Amino acid sequence: MIRSADPPRSIPALACAAIFACAAAAAAGESVEVSADRMRIDARSGRASFEGNVRLALGDLVVECDSVEAGYDRAGALVSFEATGGVVVRKGAARATARSARLEARGRRLVLEGGPVLVQGEQRLEGERILVHLDTGRLEVERARGLFKLNIGEAE
């Protein structure tokens, strides 16, 4: 069963979209700093892979994992992006962890699987699988658990 969650915008905006932002920046021609033990690029198939101690950085956005596989179309636009193995994403005070994170560029969706956890300050969201609709910021979380700080005050 999939349950929708509407946590404060800061969690999807900073933690979930962090991997997408890094991939989108590369697709848009912005510079992304990359380091890995090994890198392979196959221009014919439009595939690039990074293995071992992978670190991608765009400003204060950092993605660390064991490996990344990326696919590009003939025009060089990013089509797919998958980070696997101990995925950690940080942007400012926000942090996301999962065993894998997959960007579906055409559908503009980000899928975090393998015990995904999103944390920002005192707020925490976790589940078995988190699907982020990047255009709307809507989240779908399977077996959702979370802790959110509520600001209860007078309405404006």
Domain housing 8: 2-137
Terminal Cα-to-Cα distance of the chain (whole angstroms)? 36
State yes or no: pLDDT of 72 exceeds 90: no
Q: What is the pLDDT of residues 117-134, one digit of tens each?
A: 988 888 888 999 988 777
pLDDT of residue 144: 85
Q: What's the CATH code of the domain at 77?
A: 2.60.450.10
Q: Which residues contact 25 (CB under 8 A, 6 or more apart)?
A: 31, 32, 58
Strands (E), the chain: 2-5, 33-35, 38-42, 47-58, 61-72, 78-91, 94-104, 109-113, 117-120, 123-126, 129-133, 138-142, 145-147
Taking the C-alpha atoms of residue 145 and residue 142, their distance in angstroms, rounded to an integer, is 9
**pTM greater than 0.75:** no
For 75, the 3-state DSSP assignment is coil
Is 155 among the domain residues?
no
Q: Mean pLDDT, to the nearest integer, of 87-95?
A: 83
DSSP 12: I
pLDDT of residue 16: 43
Is 147 among the domain residues?
no
Is 150 among the domain residues?
no
